[in-house]
Structure 1
Amino acid sequence: MYKKWFLLISTLIAGFFLVACQSSSSNSQSALQTIKQKGKLVVATSPDYAPFEFQALLDGKNQVVGADIDMAQAIADELGVKLVISTMSFDNVLTSLHTGKADLAIAGISATDERKEVFDFSIPYYENKASFLIRKGDLDKYKDLNSLASASIAAQKGTVPESMVKEQLPEAKLVSLSNMGEAVNELQSGKVDAVHMDEPVALSYATKNSDLQVANVSLTMNEGEANAVAIRKGNEDLKAVVDKVIQKLKDEGTYQTYLEKAAKLTEVEQ
């Protein structure tokens, strides 16, 4: 009787330590090793920000394309794994990374000091500038910051352009929306006076919509808030690979080529 109980307890204890060891081994595995073991790199993005990431009809299929997506593919190729794009609203992109549902977040994300407290970031891959998208008939109306001081301005929720409006145009009526396409629709329907966004995105929308234009006035962007790839804290081996790929793309001018390619795709969509 006692031998049976002793055997049972011994088995349970052994099982406990086995699970603990397996768990410890799993936790000690680096992000890079985990990705290679899975054979895929999951990248969180918000595909409503052409030319960085957007949806386009290619070969009869709706696909997520753009300069950031081409860069993500280059990173996956360097790792020797399949690229998996996980799409969501911009305000959920970093949450997806934080909870481990994605390995990287690439969505025209500015590496702000606030975000750096929670995430690591790659070296910058694009020095950005923000602009106002307005209706073409309002070009003379909104020619300086004073004219926009009390305007109704839309921006994508959780972005640097949104925070810039809050800080530099505190009297303006800020309309924060999850989807950039929705913000542009609000502008075209007259519900807002302007949309504040990254300049390449504003130029893309102006190219595709004859009734819209980029204003000749802009807010001041903080230095150092360039676009970068977001990575979970402590994933140094993965960051090293991402930095290596980005540096190569910058040195060879490849990211600029990605932007030019994406711009042509937006023209096709028009």
Structure 2
Amino acid sequence: MFKKAMAVLSLIVVLIITYLGLPQEVGAAQTVEDIQDKGTLILGTSADYPPYEFHATIDGKDEIIGMDISLAEAIADELGVNLQIEDLGFDALLPALEAGTVDMVIAGLSPTPEREKSVSFSKIYYEDKPSIVILDKNRDLYGNQESLAGHTVGAQTGSIQADFAEQVEGAETYFLGDINQLVIALQTEKIEAMILTNSTAQIYQENRGDLYIYEGDFEGGEVEGNAVAFPLGSDDLVELADGVIDEVHADDQLETWLQEVSPYVELSEDDEESGSFLSQYWPLFWEGTKTTILVSVIGVFFGVILGVLLALMRLSDQAVLSTLATAYIEFVRGTPLLIQVMFIYFGLGMLVNIQAIAAGIIAISLNSGAYVAEIIRSGLSSIPVGQSEASRSLGLSYIKTMRHIVFPQALKNIWPALGNEFVTIIKESSIISTIGVAELTYQTGIVQTQSYKGILPLFISMILYFILTFTLTKVLNHLENKMSY
């Protein structure tokens, strides 16, 4: 049976690779007419980089603002369409653009020869210099670039700053996908320095007070140029964006936009009072908690349905059904959930326009189904065959035998393992934050960006996750005790 399952699995993998190797017609709009026909321009960005793009609470609502966002709105206005913002990890932006999940990317993105092979760039709309950021108390130790030799320099994954970090002679590099994570790494001295654009470095320095910045000496780093990215070959979109950029430069609009967002990148005195921290940011934590619960409940519901189906297929006398179920379970359990989430979101994005939260729920359900199937299968197998045979001899059908005789006993046996899977889903739902689903981990990142605090939001998030899992565990234990009577 195992050999048959592996043969089916190998065939499926070969078919998938063959399909993906064929020329794909990317789902993202390639022309001005395509965008105007659908009436929406989808922007991909990574909103953790003030003053370019970042989260801010305006009139009690979380919004993504910044100079780059204002530029995106100007392009959408020129097209005569609405702007829709998709907040993703920086290293997920170009894959999203290539998969067609977004129509353009504006995220302080610098054109490089490697990137220009896969996407089309507009002209440069803003220039900035790279800066090296260290802890102020260490300025005597690492106050110049040469002193970083033998130490660790961090940068954002996939950014041009990561290329600059590689140029620091004798230093080790450390890349993370989120600026907030880099700041935490610097704060806890996991790294000795990090590289940011000068404008962003100054904002963190002004709001944290414990940072020191100085200019680095990098090849190609005299001036960093940011551009708008479109799907490869979108010449008319690039031309339209170039025209908007020319108008923006002529009116000196960039400086106006920077001044408009400046109040939102500076902490007020109330923000700095620790006593007001939880009350100020609780709405974000609460929204994330609700989304985590929603995703987990739906994931568990469909995961159990799929798990029962797969378990019955696995135990079926039909070789085809059993082989397919085994192949599916082995494949899903043998691949990371993070990869599954990104594959479903970006892979399906090449075929259909799927929302991030839907992709996350599908991935969690499909993943959970494989694990639940094995739990249920083991429970069903633990019931003596004689009971099923006796039930059938008494005239009960297969369905009634499973429903009234086998399943009740099996459920009692597998309840602890099944409950553990439910708890695991709550914790693993944090993975879908990588595709922009606003669950608890995602909202924690927003709080870090807005408050310029790294550790406290993580601690609060840990407490909330614990409350969720502990409460669920107690409920499951109560139900288990009731089954004992």
TM-score range, shorter chain: 0.7 to 0.9
How many residue pairs end up in the alignment? Answer: 242
Q: Give the TM-score normalised by the residue count of structure 2.
A: 0.48
Deviations 1:133-183 (A, max 9, x none): 1111122322322101222111100011111111x2242121100101110
Decide which moves more: 75-84 or 209-218: 209-218
Task: Give the structure-1-normalised TM-score.
Answer: 0.84
Instruction: Tell me the distance in 2 between the aligned counterparts of 1:124 and 1:65.
Output: 20
How far apart are residue 57 of structure 1 and its match? 0.9
CA contact (8 A) 2:30 2:233 kept: no
Counterpart in the other structure of 1:190 = 189
Q: Percent identity?
A: 35
Taking the aligned partners of 1:131 and 1:150, their CA distance within structure 2 comes to 19
Bigger strand share: 1
- 1:1-28 per-residue CA deviation (whole Å, 9 max, x = no partner) reads xxxxxxxxxxxxxxxxxxxxxxxxxx9x
Which residue is equivalent to 1:212? 211
Mark the runs of 5 or more structure 2 residues left unpaired by the alignment.
Answer: 1-26, 268-449, 452-485
The one-letter code matched in structure 1 to 2:95 is: T
Structure 1 unmatched runs, 5+: 1-26
* Per-residue deviation, 1:254: 0.2
CA contact (8 A) 2:129 2:221 kept: no
Quote the Cα distance in structure 1 between the aligned partners of 2:242 and 2:216.
34
Matches for 1:1-270 after TM superposition, within 5 Å? 31-166=31-166, 168-215=167-214, 217-222=216-221, 226-268=225-267
- How far residue 211 of structure 1 moved from its aligned partner, in angstroms, is 1.1
Shift of 1:97: 0.6
Bigger-Rg structure (1/2): 2
| CA distance in 1: counterparts of 2:224 and 2:206, whole angstroms | 26
Q: Which whole-Å CA distance do the structure 2 matches of 1:161 and 1:155 have between them?
A: 6
Report the alpha carbon displacement of residue 241 of structure 1 after superposing the two structures with TM: 1.1
Q: CA deviation at 1:264?
A: 2.6
Contact 1:143–1:217 (Cα < 8 Å) also in 2:
no
Once the two structures are TM-superposed, the CA of residue 218 in structure 1 deviates from its matched residue by 4.2
Q: What is the SS of the residue equivalent to 2:220?
A: coil
| In 2: Cα distance, 1:261 partner to 1:151 partner | 38
Greater relative CO, 1 or 2 (CA 8 Å, sep 6+): 1
State the distance in 2 between where 1:229 and 1:156 align. Answer: 19
Task: Tell me how far apart the structure 2 counterparts of residues 53 and 30 of structure 1 sit (CA, whole Å).
Answer: 24
Q: Distance in 1 between matches of 2:119 and 2:215?
A: 34
- Distance in structure 1 (CA, Å) of the matches to 2:71 and 2:101: 20
> Structure 1's 30 and 121: CA in aligned 2 closer, same or farther, altered over 3 A?
closer
CA deviation map 1:106-146 (0-9, x unaligned): 00000112111211110100112111111111223223221
Letter in 2 for 1:94: L
Task: Give the aligned CA root-mean-square deviation in angstroms.
Answer: 1.8
CA displacement, residues 17-62 of structure 1 (integer Å, 9 cap, x when unaligned)? xxxxxxxxxx9x8521111111110010000111101111111111
For residues 223 and 212 of structure 1, the distance between their equivalents in structure 2, rounded to whole angstroms, comes to: 22
User: Which moved further from structure 2: 172-181 or 225-234?
Assistant: 225-234
SS of 2:143's equivalent in the other structure is coil
Report SS of the residue matched to 1:201.
Answer: helix
Q: Which has the higher helix share?
A: 2
* Equivalent-residue separation in structure 2 for 1:151 and 1:61 (angstroms): 41
| Pairwise CA distance, 1:216 | 5.0
The one-letter code matched in structure 2 to 1:257 is T
CA distance in 1, matches of 2:115, 2:229: 9
The equivalent of 2:363 in structure 1 is none
Code of the aligned partner of 1:57: T
> How far did 1:223 drift?
6.4
Quick one: which amino acid aligns to residue 204 of structure 1? I
SS in 2 for 1:107: coil
Structure 2 CA distance for aligned equivalents of residues 224 and 181 of structure 1: 24
